Amino acid sequence: MRLTPAAGVLLLLVGAASAQGGSPAGPPPSFPPLTAPAMQSVSGRFNSLNPPNRHDCRAREVTGRVVSKTLMLVDELACGQAETRNVLANVALRNPAEAAQMAVGRRVTVEAKFQSAEEDRAAPFDAFFLIAEDAALVPGDPPGPSAQPAPAFTSYMLCQPPGLDALSAKLGSDLCVQSTLVENLSVTGPALEAAARAPAPVAPADTVPGDPNAITCRPDLEHSDLQLRAIACARNSYWAWYKTKWHDRNFLAPAPP
């Protein structure tokens, strides 16, 4: 997701015009880069440029698995949210050089100043965020020079990824896409585009029948990002996880890859 707040408001208006059958005026939307990545909620379902209502956590050290250069899946961290296990924490490293040690799948321990944040959403619940500021990796065995990142073991919703700017412009709509679909667009791109062109008229918390690996899209009524009203796309297995999470109140299982 690469929108500034002002750009996001503009595209909301463009998207509303498209939804009402009008033609967006002016050139196709463009997506200026952010100076920092959008933050992910504890489940990865929601994005935020700057989540508000921040509170300091008592924790000073956590252990978990690396999800990306700026994310880790924490074993346990209770701080302002219902979930305490298998939660995503946004990591801002004190020393950017340590990013080379953030190999996907690697277990790491991080010391940091931890904060929680809470953001109101359109649905009757709040999105919670965990933030590790001024973070440093606790010394351990770094990955070897030939070590390869592990296959993705979880996923998160990624709004307006750079590789989909052209597709968003063609559709006249913003896109929020399961992160693992963006890793190899040469493989997933055709199915993703087909699904985005024909979004299912169902809510994000509803499932559709069929192959769990199939990609389906739907209008993002629950606002993956408050600056975006988008089409949300993911594998059917992700939508099944999301339905279980909210309908059955099962908050501890991480999203499938």
CATH code (residue 78):
2.40.50
- Max Cα-Cα span within the chain: 57
Among 94, 111, 137, the domain boundary falls at 137
Q: Are residues 44 and 131 in the same domain?
A: yes
Contact 159, 1 (CB under 8 A): yes
Q: Are residues 174 and 91 in the same domain?
A: no
Among 70, 104, 137, the domain boundary falls at 137
Q: Are residues 93 and 178 in the same domain?
A: no
**Average pLDDT for 50-75:** 94
| Residue 254 within a domain | no
Q: What is the pLDDT of residues 111-134, one digit of tens each?
A: 999 999 999 876 667 889 999 999
| Residue 257 within a domain | no
Q: 227 or 202: which carries more pLDDT confidence?
A: 202
What pLDDT is stored for residue 86 in this prediction? 92
Taking the CA atoms of residue 175, residue 178, residue 184 and residue 186 in that order, the dihedral angle to the nearest 10 degrees is -40
| Number of separate domains in the chain | 2
Query: Residue 88's closest CA among 164, 173, 153, 7?
Result: 153
Q: 210 or 82: which carries more pLDDT confidence?
A: 210
| Residue 146 within a domain | no
Q: What is the pLDDT of residues 145-194, one digit of tens each?
A: 777 778 999 999 999 998 999 999 999 999 999 999 999 999 999 999 99
Q: Are residues 182 and 226 in the same domain?
A: yes
| Residue 233 within a domain | yes
Q: Are residues 88 and 72 in the same domain?
A: yes
**Average pLDDT for 33-62:** 86
Q: Are residues 159 and 220 in the same domain?
A: yes
| Residue 106 within a domain | yes
Query: Cα(214)–Cα(187) distance, rounded to whole angstroms?
Result: 13
What pLDDT is stored for residue 133 in this prediction? 96
Among 108, 137, 166, the domain boundary falls at 137
Q: Are residues 162 and 224 in the same domain?
A: yes
Phi-psi region of 94 (alpha: psi -120 to 50; beta: other; left: phi over 0): alpha
| Residue 150 within a domain | no
Partners of residue 93 on adjacent β-strands: 135
**Average pLDDT for 228-241:** 94
Q: Are residues 183 and 123 in the same domain?
A: no
What pLDDT is stored for residue 181 in this prediction? 97
What pLDDT is stored for residue 84 in this prediction? 83
Q: Are residues 83 and 126 in the same domain?
A: yes
| Residue 149 within a domain | no
Q: Are residues 179 and 117 in the same domain?
A: no
User: Would you mind telling me the total number of residues written for the chain in this entry?
Assistant: 257
Q: Are residues 18 and 96 in the same domain?
A: no
**Residue range of the domain that includes 182:** 5-33+155-247
Contact 225, 46 (CB under 8 A): yes
Query: Cα(4)–Cα(150) distance, rounded to whole angstroms?
Result: 32
Q: Are residues 133 and 181 in the same domain?
A: no
Taking the CA atoms of residue 242, residue 213, residue 179 and residue 225 in that order, the dihedral angle to the nearest 10 degrees is -40
